[in-house]
Amino acid sequence: MLPVDGRQLENVKGELLKLKKKEAADCQLCHNVARTEERKKQKYKEIADCQTWHSVGRREEPRKQKNKEIDDWQREELKKPKNNEIEDCQTSQQERKAEETEEQRNSRLSDMAQRSQERRAEENRRAKEWPIGQTRRVT
């Protein structure tokens, strides 16, 4: 072995330190490249998935539209009989009223007026039985 002086030792240490730094930088660069590649793969996968779902959506769209139209039609068809029944009921009521003679109408109105008078008379009778200031029990 050759004798080594202090200066040579410092130079060797400096070179060794440079090599270690370069190796660490290369390793970090390698890791960064690997991470970048992984991100690219993930991004491409997301894009492919998005395109797949988009094309599936385009295929599903006409089917959904057709189903919606069928549902709308069925709803309208279900409403029609009910509307017809309501219209028939209203029409029959109108016909009944139209068929009612003037005498029947007057009789019906007279009965209503008589019941109204009887109710008022009953209320007045009760009011006279219970003068102001007295309380009555409601049963």
8-17, 39-48, 65-74, 106-115: which has the highest mean pLDDT? 106-115
Amino acid found at 115: R
pLDDT at position 31 is 83
The winner for highest mean pLDDT among 25-39, 85-99, 125-139 is: 25-39
With 0-12 / 13-18 / 19 or more C-beta atoms within 10 angstroms meaning exposed / middle / buried, residue 9 is exposed
Q: Which residues contact 4 (CB under 8 A, 6 or more apart)?
A: 12
